[in-house]
């Protein structure tokens, strides 16, 4: 694997500067997961480094970039719909550059479709093209021709990329890229390539920088953070990395995602228990409660092993909460399989569930499995799952009333004059407060709840 360092492309910047009378504006929109959102922040950083300004409105843009997601078909359809809507803008302004990048652009059939049916899309590149973006734009401007890259895999990590972060108090920090798991339903290993861990010293330097800039919540990202460290020169696992980061002094909390249950170790649980900076909440996607389906998905754990880990965490980390991803309607899912998922969520009692109806992804192994269940049946199962989850979570949320908790104030609440704060366990509380609290820790006394949303008030201890 190659370790590269970003360098400013002065030549491309001067081509771009010569082409426009005033600094050109770029509109960048990211779809999908946090990894992709973080890529979008880097795209903005690279564009600023090359002489672009950033705008929040497509009408003002000289360059429109959609940083796309491929995980489910619905995400892809949305992108095609949104790109189609740009055709009119391009007719009004033929100099407008429209680009598609990210996970969708890593699939050959998508690039072919863009080439054949979307002639007004000028720029296409995959997940590893961000550092080369200035050169691509320069080429597009100089040659006046579309620049569409065929999907390719680049076994590299590029450090010191410029970045324009969306938030001043919450940051994403990728610790690894790619995925080697090949769960049978998932497109990610095909689009994001092989697993590559960043060196601990690079992660630590970025982490220190974030803490020194006052970031309060840092979320470590990877498709499977628990396999961090494979292939590094010096042996180090994810728990070692967490312990290293927690040596940095400051007022911050660390979250991480995603933890694959097959590699979530007791050492990791012990680390979460021991370190005050680590949130006492674990996102541990189970996908299904049926051992038969877990095997079909090649998840490499059983329900019993999963429950064992949850039990160990509950014993070691007082008050720990869990969230999970679940796929409904995997090919061949029977009523019994689905019932096993309902049984599992009753046993674990997740605070939050992220649920998805199975989406067939071309090129994956599950796409070739027989899938006789109708969409209507899958949708009905999803409905049952959501109702069962609400019946579990709402009383758990309501039972928190009376506690005083530290929250990170993150945004204005829905009701005027209120603020939303996020708890350690990822729940949100709405409380009366001023905008200037946003980005700070606040102690909040929980007074009640509406569905999954807590309500509260600033605790007296804050007012002194």
Q: Does 37 bind ligand 5AD (CB under 6 A)?
A: no
Out of ligand SF4, ligand 5AD, none, which partner does residue 72 contact, by CB within 5 to 8 A per kind? ligand 5AD
Interstrand relation of 253-257 and 321-328 (parallel, antiparallel or unpaired): unpaired
Nearest to 278 by CA among 304, 242, 305, 329: 242
> What are the CA-CA distances from residue 283 to residues 257, 352, 392 (Å)?
7, 9, 17
- Decide: is 71 part of the binding site for ligand 5AD (CB under 6 A): yes
**Residue 127 vs 317, nearer CB to ligand SF4:** 127
118 forms part of the interface with ligand 5AD (CB under 6 A): no
**Residue 191 binding ligand SF4, by CB under 6 A:** yes
Asked if 70 is part of the footprint of ligand SF4 (rule: CB under 6 A), the reply reads yes
Pairwise CA distance, residues 158 & 284, whole Å:
29
Which residue is at the shortest CB distance from ligand SF4? 32
**Best CA proximity match to 244, nearest among 236, 235, 252:** 236
Cβ proximity to ligand SF4: between 25 and 191 the closer is 191
The pattern of x and - marking residues 181 through 200 that bind ligand 5AD according to CB under 6 A reads ----xx--------------
Candidates 6, 19, 20, 356; binder of ligand 5AD (CB under 6 A) is 356
Closest CA to 68 of 41, 98, 106: 106
| Token representation of residue 65 | 């970039």
- The C-alpha atoms of residue 462 and residue 464 are separated, in whole angstroms, by 6
Q: Which stretch in 1-9, 32-40, 151-159, 212-220 sits in contact with ligand SF4 by CB under 6 A?
A: 32-40
Please tell me what DSSP assigns to residue 373: S
Pick from 358, 393, 430, 439 the residue near ligand 5AD by CB under 6 A: 358
Q: How far apart are CA 20 and CA 57, in angstroms?
A: 19
Work out how close the CB of 187 gets to ligand SF4 at its nearest, in angstroms, rounded to a whole number: 6
Contact partner, 400, from ligand 5AD, ligand SF4, none, Cβ < 5-8 Å per class: none
> Under the criterion CB under 6 A, does residue 263 sit at the interface with ligand 5AD?
no
Instruction: Return the axis-axis angle of helices 34-49 and 133-143, rounded to nearest 10°.
Output: 60
Residue position matching structure tokens 């754990």:
301
Tokens 């299904």: give the residue: 288
Selected binder of ligand 5AD within 44, 72, 198, 281 (CB under 6 A): 72
Q: Cis bond leading into 258, ω under 30°?
A: yes
- Near ligand 5AD by CB under 6 A: residue from 97, 114, 286, 327: 327
CA distances to 92, 152, 260 from 146, in Å: 18, 18, 40
Please give the residue ranges that form the binding site for ligand SF4 (CB under 6 A).
32-33, 35-36, 69-71, 103, 187-188, 191-192
Binding site for ligand 5AD (CB under 6 A): 71-72, 185-186, 285, 287, 325, 327, 356, 358-359, 361
């Amino acid at each position: 694997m190659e370790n590269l360092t970003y360098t400013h492309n002065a030549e491309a910047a001067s081509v771009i500067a010569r082409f426009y009378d005033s600094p050109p504006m770029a509109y960048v929109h990211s779809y999908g997961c946090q990894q992709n959102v973080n890529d979008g922040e880097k795209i903005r950083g690279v564009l600023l480094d090359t002489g672009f300004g950033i705008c929040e409105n497509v009408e003002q843009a000289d360059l429109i970039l959609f940083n796309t997601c491929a995980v489910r078909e619905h995400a892809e359809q949305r992108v095609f719909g949104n790109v189609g809507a740009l055709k009119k803008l391009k007719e009004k302004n033929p100099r407008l550059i429209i680009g598609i990048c990210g996970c969708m652009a890593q699939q050959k059939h998508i690039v072919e479709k863009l080439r054949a049916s979307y002639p007004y899309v000028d720029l296409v590149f995959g997940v590893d093209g961000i550092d080369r973006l200035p050169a691509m734009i320069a080429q597009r401007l100089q040659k006046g021709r579309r620049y569409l890259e065929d999907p390719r895999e680049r076994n590299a990590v590029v450090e010191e990329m410029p970045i324009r972060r969306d938030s001043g108090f919450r940051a994403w920090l990728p610790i690894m890229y790619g995925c080697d798991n090949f769960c049978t339903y998932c497109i990610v290993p095909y689009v994001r390539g092989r697993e590559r861990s960043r060196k601990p010293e690079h992660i630590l330097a970025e982490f220190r920088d974030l803490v020194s800039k006052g970031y309060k919540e840092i979320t470590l990202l990877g498709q499977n953070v628990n396999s961090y460290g494979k292939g590094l020169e010096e042996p180090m696992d994810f728990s070692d990395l967490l312990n290293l980061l927690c040596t940095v002094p400051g007022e911050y909390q660390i979250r991480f995602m995603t933890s694959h249950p097959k590699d979530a170790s007791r050492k990791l649980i012990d680390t979460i228990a021991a370190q005050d900076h680590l949130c006492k909440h674990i996102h541990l996607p189970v996908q299904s409660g049926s051992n038969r389906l877990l095997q079909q998905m090649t998840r490499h754990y059983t329900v019993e092993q999963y429950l064992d880990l949850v039990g160990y965490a509950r014993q070691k980390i007082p008050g720990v909460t869990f969230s999970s991803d679940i796929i409904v309607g995997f090919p061949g899912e029977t009523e019994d399989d689905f019932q096993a998922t309902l049984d599992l969520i009753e046993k674990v009692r997740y605070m939050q569930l992220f649920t998805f109806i199975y989406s067939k992804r071309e090129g994956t192994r599950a796409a070739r499995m027989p899938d006789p269940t109708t969409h209507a049946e899958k949708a009905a199962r999803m409905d049952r799952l959501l109702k069962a989850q609400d019946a579990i979570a709402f009383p758990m949320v309501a039972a928190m009333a009376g506690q005083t908790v530290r929250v990170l104030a993150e945004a204005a609440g829905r009701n005027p004059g209120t603020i939303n704060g996020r708890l350690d366990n990822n729940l949100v509380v709405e409380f009366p407060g001023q905008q200037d609290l946003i980005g700070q820790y606040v102690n909040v006394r929980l007074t009640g709840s509406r569905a999954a949303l807590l309500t509260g008030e600033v605790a007296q201890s804050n007012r002194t």
